[in-house]
Amino acid sequence: MAEIAQMANPLIEAEVENSNPVNESEKIVFTGSHRNMAVGVAMFATAALAFSMDLTHVFFARAIAWTFVLWGLLFIYGSLLDVYQSYEVTDDALIIRNPVRFLLPTKVWNWGNIQRIDVTVNRNDAEYQDATAKVYFQQSGELNIEREDRVYDPELVRLIIERAGLLPVDKKNPINLTVLPKTKATYIWNKTGRLAA
């Protein structure tokens, strides 16, 4: 049956092959960070117990229980967003995928439009999970700037700096990205190599 379909329209297979311009072997995928969902689960479970134990016969108690339900679901959803987010580094663009995000599950950021990356070390003697990478993207011809925050990954930051052609704004920026500085600081790389535009 497939042979008959192929004979009827031989261009189908060629179109399917050309529809995926990114070769699977050329992209590097970085997965999301694992988050602790204990706060969201605890809030949701507390509200469920309040309803099941009939502690909500007073309006104020019912309002607090519903507030715990909503906040618990929001905390769980926020954690799922971080867990399922993936970054794909290709030759042409940085592709950010998140199947849990409803409005824009896939973002494709061309390297020429990535304007800046900040690495913020949040504490002294920090480890990778204590630092944050913030990537800034501005579509050409538009005024708004999009930003994606992620737990620091030295290989991802190195690839973004190299492929987007970003320059350090300060001589104190680390050259070896695998070793985090021992103090709190923010390190910036941008297109011009200067802090002021």
124 DSSP assignment: T
6 within a domain of the structure (yes/no): no
The 10 Å Cβ neighbour count of residue 116 is 19
pLDDT tens across the length of the chain (197 residues)? 444 444 444 433 333 344 444 445 588 899 888 878 999 999 999 999 999 998 888 999 999 999 999 999 999 999 999 899 999 999 999 999 999 998 889 999 999 999 999 999 988 888 888 889 999 999 988 899 999 999 999 999 999 999 999 999 988 888 888 888 888 889 999 998 887 65
Range of the domain at 174: 94-190
Nearest CA-CA partner of 146 in 134, 133, 131: 134
164 occurs within a structural domain = yes
Cβ-based neighbours of 116, under 8 Å, separated by 6 or more: 135, 136, 166, 188, 189, 190, 191
Runs of H (alpha helix) within the chain = 2-8, 11-19, 38-52, 59-84, 154-164
Contacts of 159 (CB under 8 A, 6+ apart): 28, 89
DSSP conformation class of 80: H
pLDDT at res. 16: 38
54 lies in some domain = yes
pTM for this model (two decimals): 0.75
107 and 77 part of one domain: no
Residue 31 lies in a domain: no
Same structural domain, 73 and 106 = no
pLDDT of residue 105: 93
Do 103 and 172 lie in a common domain? yes
89 is a domain residue:
no
Number of domains into which the chain is organized: 2
Q: What is the pLDDT of residue 172?
A: 86
Shared domain for 74 and 103, answered yes or no, is: no
Residue 33 counted as domain residue: no
User: 154 and 69 in one domain?
Assistant: no
Last residue of a domain, one of 25, 48, 83: 83
On whether residue 197 sits in a domain, the answer given is no
Question: pLDDT value at position 2?
Answer: 44
DSSP 146-197: EEEEEE--HHHHHHHHHHHT-EESSTTS-SSTTS--SS-EEEEEESSSSS--
Residue 57, pLDDT score: 87
Q: Are 118 and 66 in contact (CB under 8 A)?
A: no
Helix (H/G/I), strand (E/B), else coil: 93: strand
Q: Both 162 and 100 in a single domain? A: yes
Could you tell me if 57 and 131 lie in one domain? no
In a domain, 5, yes or no: no
Q: Which of 83, 117, 149 is the last residue of a domain?
A: 83
In angstroms and rounded to an integer, the radius of gyration of the C-alpha atoms of the chain is: 23
- 41's CB contacts (< 8 A; 6+ apart) are 72, 76
Which of residues 18, 50, 83 is at a domain's end? 83
Residues 101 and 123 both lie in one domain: yes
Helix 38-52 vs helix 59-84: crossing angle, to nearest 10: 150
